Amino acid sequence: MRAICRRLDAPDAQDFQALRLEGFRLEPRAFRFAPEDEAHLTSDAVAERLQRDFVIGAFNAEDSQLIGVGGLAWSDGVKTRHKALLYGMYVKVPHRGSGAADDIMKRLIDEAKEKVEIVTLTVVSTNLRALRFYERWGFRAYGVEERSAKIFEGDYLDETLMALRLKS
């Protein structure tokens, strides 16, 4: 059964925060953030983020649990507001390959098409599944930030920089 997607808003803050921290905890090599970076955020701060950004949640059709998220952060600079940053794509393990990630991405791209010309993202270069997923959605790699994140001494993550042009 397909997930049900909708925009997350202030009342979803706690569930969103829990899923985001789960991703940082379970996939330390997929994200540039650690749980400690955001565990301290208050519900009000997370709610504010949900109202400022455009975050889509996918809910399991059977039990209405939040099983996936992905967001767009807008840029408000005069010279950069034609771009948005896609961030925080995460789908719980049992729902990967189910189409839930596609449903989230479709909603994000539809919204981006209304508002911006380019969507950018960063993805850890060894995260081949995510890279493939983004490529399938038309994102193209334009560079690599070497040692973008440091796990501990001598253990770094490189990140591939990707962009999707929505307007020629």
Ligand X SMILES: CC(C)(COP(=O)(O)OP(=O)(O)OC[C@H]1O[C@@H](n2cnc3c(N)ncnc32)[C@H](O)[C@@H]1OP(=O)(O)O)[C@@H](O)C(=O)NCCC(=O)NCCS
- In the bound state with ligand X, the residue whose beta carbon lies nearer, of 23 and 71, is 23
Residue 138 makes contact with ligand X by CB under 6 A: no
Least distance (Å) between residue 29 CB and ligand X: 9
| Options 59-67, 75-83, 90-98, 140-148: segment touching ligand X (CB under 6 A) | 90-98
Closest CA to 30 of 102, 87, 104: 87
12 or 160: whose CB is closer to ligand X? 160
Cα-flanking dihedrals φ and ψ of residue 33, to 5°? -105, 150
**165, exposed or middle or buried, with CB in 10 Å at 0-12, 13-18, 19+?**
exposed
Say how many CA atoms lie within 13 Å of 98 toward its Cβ.
19
User: Cβ distance 112 to 121 under 8 Å?
Assistant: no
* Paired strand residues for 90: 69
Q: How far is the CB of 79 from ligand X (least distance, A)?
A: 26
Where would I find the H helices in 53-115?
100-115
Q: Please tell me whether residue 101 binds ligand X under the rule CB under 6 A.
A: yes
Whichever of 49 and 92 has its CB closer to ligand X, that residue is: 92
Contacts of 125 (CB under 8 A, 6+ apart): 131, 144, 157, 158, 159, 160
- In the sheet where 4-7 sits, what is the strand order? 4-7, 54-59, 66-74, 83-91, 118-124, 155-165, 140-152
Binding mask 114-133 for ligand X (x = CB under 6 A): ---------x---xxxx-xx
Applying CB under 6 A, among 91, 108, 157, 164 the residue interacting with ligand X is 91
Site membership for ligand X, residue 30 (CB under 6 A): yes
C-beta closer to ligand X: residue 10 or 125: 125
Q: Closest CB to ligand X among 67 and 116?
A: 67
Sites of contact with ligand X (CB under 6 A): 23, 27, 30-31, 89-91, 96-97, 101-102, 123, 127-130, 132-133, 136
